[in-house]
Amino acid sequence: MEPTTDVKLDAQPARPPAADSGLRRSMGPRHLVMIAMGGVIGSGLFLSSGYTISQAGPLGAVIAYLIGAFVVYLVMACLGELAIAYPVSGAFHIYAARSIGPATGFATAWLYWLCWAVAIGSEFTASGLLMQRWFPDVEVWVWCLVFAAVLFGFNAVSSKFFGESEFWFAIVKVAAIIGLIVLGGAALFGFRPLGGGGEHPFLFENFATEGGLFPNGFTGVLVTVLAVFYAFSGSELIGVAAGETKDPATSIPKALRTTVIRLLIFFVGAIAVIAATIPYNEVGLDESPFVTVFSAIGLPFAADIMNFVIITALLSAGNSGLFSCARMLYSLADEGHAPRAFKRLTRRGIPLIALSVSMVGGVASLISSVVAPETVYLVLVSVAGFAVVGVWMSITASHFFHRRAFVRSGGDISTLAYKAPLFPLVPILAFSLCVISLIGIALDPTQAAALYFGIPFVAACYAWFHFRYGRRAVSAG
């Protein structure tokens, strides 16, 4: 079954196009919120937050996450206006192709596809390793195949079924975070309903370290901000799902506002409780900081409970990533920049071939992590990290050029269903902060590989586009 409406590259920004009629509009605001939450809340919060606190110090970590949340707000504000103007699936590619140029759209789509394809493989691997806590005799690859089959099934049934599965995946993670904030916060005030022995810090005693408020200097905070940007990646999944959303003009702004507020509360709240509970020079050394906090407040079976939650978090991120990969391939095919087979839909409106190829990409990255961990996988992971900031830059630049073209063509801003505030400050500021983060990556030896492999990858995408599609794109214009 082919979609009945194709999206054209030369559509005028002032007149929003009709949405895809092939993909089903079966998701509401709650699905969008949980898809974004599912993509963001993962191992970066449950496993790596301890490293963030150890690098920046307690107060520095909280500041870093506040900055990250601010940048997410700026990007989401730009995303909201674009997602309503172009409510199509795989929207990042469409935004950039129409507002900046088809080559930029092409590069953005493949960057984002690769980002999630790599993430899928790494999440399968991590989930399999965590399962060995309960099933030590079962090989990791067996669990990888089981989880791959489950997530493929969730995505292959229908977009609504995917939305529902992601909703419940995310519920588990959100419950763990709320539990940490409520019970950990109560313990900091001296109230410990679960008991637990030993001394417990009162309020923010841990923030006053021997090295001051910033024990590693403000440089530690700056380096941490770069990592925090990556921790917030996934919030942009709302744009990917725009083409399968009921009433985008109402659902998308509501989902964006709710997502930003919840991320601010959950991330900053959780980091503040962890930093206040565990000394910064001890956190995250041998276990998840969530396990450490729950154990300190007396939660029974804290390690087993959090092992389950972390596995759920990984599978949730993989679920969202597989959805995103398939929609990106569908969008590329819809524009004529990928094989037309990726446009074929099932009777339920699922791009099954695109979904299958995306799963193959995830499995390939999984295999490469085992066969060539020091070469291929390192390259892929580096490009994936670079891609997150690259996509955010594409979104903000697309919004800038879209709004400018809309006004120049005589469009009335007051008629927009949603408009980003303080234009052009918001897109310019968001883009600038993303550029600063890339400059910071160059100064950090542990992250510099992202530039070494990411920049050539983007250049290769542009070169391939102009070699393969350049003349057609020019003639179409």
The reported pLDDT for the residue numbered 20 is: 42
Number of domains in the chain: 1
The reported pLDDT for the residue numbered 32 is: 66
CATH of the domain at 293: 1.20.1740.10
Q: Is residue 50 part of a domain?
A: yes
The reported pLDDT for the residue numbered 400 is: 95
Q: Which of 54, 33, 452 is nearest to 259 (CA)?
A: 33
Position of tokens 């408020």?
213
Instruction: Count Cα atoms within 13 angstroms, Cβ side, for 88.
Output: 29
Which pTM was predicted?
A: 0.78
Q: Is residue 147 part of a domain?
A: yes
* Structure confidence by residue, pLDDT tens digits, 286-339: 567 888 788 777 778 878 888 888 888 888 878 878 887 888 888 788 878 888
Q: Is residue 345 part of a domain?
A: yes
Q: Is residue 251 part of a domain?
A: yes
Extract the residue ranges of the chain whose pLDDT is less than 50. 1-21, 23, 26, 285, 374, 474-477
The reported pLDDT for the residue numbered 9 is: 33
Q: Is residue 476 part of a domain?
A: no
Q: Tell how far CA 399 is from the center of its chain.
A: 19
Q: Is residue 95 part of a domain?
A: yes
Q: Is residue 16 part of a domain?
A: no
Domain hosting residue 145, numbered range = 29-470
Alpha-carbon dihedral 164, 165, 169, 170, rounded to 10 degrees: -30
Q: Is residue 83 part of a domain?
A: yes
